[in-house]
Amino acid sequence: MAETGSTETTREMSQDGADITAAATLTGGWGIRGWLSALFTKLLNTIDPVSSALRTLLAEHYQIHNGSHFFSRDFIDLGNGATHNILVVTPDTTKWSHFIFAIEHELEAFVTFTEGVATGGDGTPVTAFNNNRNSVEVSTTLLFHTPTSPTGGDVLARDRKGSGKKFGGGGRSEEEIVLKQNTKYLVSITNGTASNNLINWEFSFYENISGV
């Protein structure tokens, strides 16, 4: 406020010295004005300039940017009636794995997906790579192949298909399974023929703290 007797026009001032009775302009500055300016700029950057639509990312796409999305792809040539087992082990935390997978086979094959198996040993570690190659985050969900003596558990899914077919591989909204924490899952692939059977498999998952 101006002093008594002054000819200066009375103006209200904010703590940062800005005139808060003047027309608002989002041009940066200190205090609340600067914070609002930064927020306004961020909001403008989320709007498509052509359609004026809000630009958004799908949840899994955001997880890729965030460095918490992982993948593993490989193949194996299975001989006459042979079986290949892949073990998925989740941690005993609320950082849950949102999991999808696909198995593609050259000839007839039988695939089962089992929850809660017990093993004599987890087998050989399989690397799950971070989709964001700039991130240093590593997966807390662990993958192995050829576990020792897998037994028990509940079969969640099984399928038998002929040549050139695929198990899984649909959209995430139909295929995603939020894996139970502190649990072992077994993906078992058996060649249904007497010939060599080329198998391609792909696991894709992101990890997110439950409730966040």
C-alpha closest to that of 64 among 209, 212, 204: 204
| pLDDT tens-place string over residues 172-204 | 667 899 999 999 999 999 999 999 999 999 999
What does the H/E/C string look like for 165-200?
Answer: EEEECCCHHHHCEECCCCCEEEEEEEECCCCCEEEE
Query: DSSP states of 130-157 as a string?
Result: ESSTT-----SSEEEES-BS-B--EEEE
pTM: 0.73
- Round to whole Å and give the CA distance between 165 and 167: 7
| pLDDT tens-place string over residues 77-134 | 999 999 999 999 999 999 999 999 999 999 999 999 999 999 999 999 999 999 999 9
- Round to whole Å and give the CA distance between 203 and 197: 20
**Adjacent-strand bridge partners of 148:** 121
